[in-house]
Homo-oligomer: A and B are copies of this chain.
């Protein structure tokens, strides 16, 4: 059985190589940064994960998940998102509170628990942030990738998911009147730095490029 730390490395690799899929491989530094550890620490773990045949990795080369590693990673993501949904729907947690607790709950080992949880929630397909929940077979209904930054001026779109799950970002999102399924109209955008003016339910706000990149829309 994998340790919590190993599970966190696989999850991070999954996010970096598959979910935010600009590329399907990552480097040591990027992985280390995502996990808030030093590259030397990540390097040690890479050797261990390689030895366990969970990643493809050669010295000085790029890193990717093997089929076995990907399977484990998806299981952790599934648990994380099911727990977030549970906390949100059954225990009145807000969407900026669920992530932190799910980070702990995702490491509970019990297949029966996860099956029952999934059933209890009526087999949800999305978590409170709009992210897809892998099903029991590990299948993911993959979701679009367009962000608010890519929406043309004058167009209206709908918020389908948020990229960042931190409480600070989510509270910021709420403060501009946004939430899942909200309609957003793009009023203007600065060429210079991507600063974007938007309108949500009649309320106008100006948000940064970084903000816009973290809002997925359809």
Q: Within 8 Å of chain B (Cβ to Cβ): is A34?
A: no
Q: Within 8 Å of chain B (Cβ to Cβ): is A218?
A: no
Q: Within 8 Å of chain B (Cβ to Cβ): is A87?
A: yes
Interface size on A, residues (CB 8 A): 18
- Measured between alpha carbons, how far is A144 from B199 in the docked complex, in Å? 65
CB distance from A24 to the nearest CB of B (A): 33
Taking chain A's interface residues, is the majority helix, strand, or loop, or is none over half, making it mixed?
Answer: helix
Q: Within 8 Å of chain B (Cβ to Cβ): is A136?
A: no
> Which residues between 95 and 138 of chain A lie within 8 Å of chain B, taking CB atoms?
97, 100-101, 104-105, 108-110, 112-113, 116-117, 120
Interface 1/0 per residue, A81-101 and B, CB below 8 Å:
000000100111100010011
CB distance from A151 to the nearest CB of B (A): 36
Is A117 a contact of B91 with CB atoms below 8 Å? yes
Using Cβ atoms and an 8 Å threshold, which residues of chain B touch A105? 108
The residues of A with any CB-CB pair to B shorter than 8 Å are 87, 90-93, 97, 100-101, 104-105, 108-110, 112-113, 116-117, 120
- Measured between alpha carbons, how far is A108 from B100 in the docked complex, in Å? 11
Is A101 a contact of B97 with CB atoms below 8 Å? no
Using Cβ atoms and an 8 Å threshold, which residues of chain B touch A91? 112-113, 116-117, 120
User: Nearest B residue to A119 by beta-carbon distance?
Assistant: B91
